[in-house]
Amino acid sequence: MASNLSDRLSRLVKTMRGQARITETNVADMMREVRMALLEADVALPVVRDFIARVKEKALGQEVVGSLNPGQVLVSIVHKELARTMGEGQQELHFPANPPMVILMAGLQGAGKTTTTAKLTRWLIEKKKKKVLTVSTDVYRPAAMDQLRTVTAQAGGECFPARPDQKPVDIALAALDQCRRQYFDVLIVDTAGRLAIDEALMAEIRDLHAAVRPTETLFVVDAMQGQDAMNTARAFKDVLPLTGIVLTKLDGDSRGGAALSVQQVTQTPIKFAGVSEKIDGLEAFDPDRHAGRVLG
């Protein structure tokens, strides 16, 4: 079991007892502990390097060198910088002046897109008093269409009756048309995922994006994916102008370091966290609380 950053640093600081002051070399040793803690939390290596460089600059500029309680000072610097970075950008959903608002869900198969679509439907109905239509464009897995129909009903929304013999873009446009005619406030477009990134999937979601011109394009990523989350995020960011990230399965054992990797590689705000399989298991992402979790 990995120990948290405070414990790691206090152990290290004990070895410095008797010194007149904390030196830059001591700070370098301490930064190694920060690096280990972040790697154990599954933050991707290149992201850890950049982050460490920023924190080190702050640590040398502030009171870590020469301070009486260097471990705690450093933990606080790391925590603040982590929360600041993960909290960058506009975290609230953007509601356009003229409805309908269109939300496009992107991500790998199993990331939690369909579940999140239903949770978001519930959230929009309850918290924002919106009338919500969902649609599945996953023509490859009829079971996915059925799943969305079931969970949308549980959430209290309506699901557009798509058929697997239609083209994804045609389905999305027909749903958008119904949305306008029946005065829905929001259309959530759930898309097909693959187990790994592939060209056909990327071309399809790019076409869907061009057709429905969403206000929000949310990248759904499984926090348990750890280091791989960064590569998946980069691949989606390369083809889509993402506007937000949803980090799912934060109720699992992962320390959630994927949040930092994904935010850094996409420069896109993390808007929501999935915290259970249930329909009400969606929360606004809280960077400060999450920083505490990543650091253990």
Q: Which residues bind ligand GDP (CB under 6 A)?
A: 107, 109-115, 193, 248-249, 251, 274-277, 281
Nearest CB to ligand GDP, comparing residues 87 and 193: 193
The CB-of-40 to ligand GDP minimum distance in angstroms stands at 21
Q: How far is the CB of 77 from ligand GDP (least distance, A)?
A: 31
CB 242 within 8 A of CB 106: yes
Instruction: Please state the closest distance from residue 114 (CB atom) to ligand GDP, in A.
Output: 3
Query: Which is closer to ligand GDP, CB of 70 or CB of 112?
Result: 112
Q: Which residue, 249 or 255, is less far from ligand GDP as judged by CB?
A: 249
Residue 172 identity: A
Q: Which is nearer to ligand GDP, 56 or 122 (CB)?
A: 122
What single-letter amino acid sits at 189?
A: V
Closest approach of ligand GDP to the CB of residue 293, in Å: 14
In whole angstroms, give the CA distance from residue 175 to residue 197. 26
CB of 71 to ligand GDP, least distance (A): 34
Q: How far is the CB of 138 from ligand GDP (least distance, A)?
A: 8
**Residue linked to tokens 């990523």:** 221
- Judged by beta carbon, residue 186 or residue 273, the one nearer ligand GDP is 273
- The residue (of 107 and 269) whose beta carbon lies closer to ligand GDP is 107
The residue number with the shortest CB distance to ligand GDP is: 274
CB of 172 to ligand GDP, least distance (A): 16
Closer to ligand GDP by Cβ: residue 115 or 121: 115
Contacts of 20 (CB under 8 A, 6+ apart): none
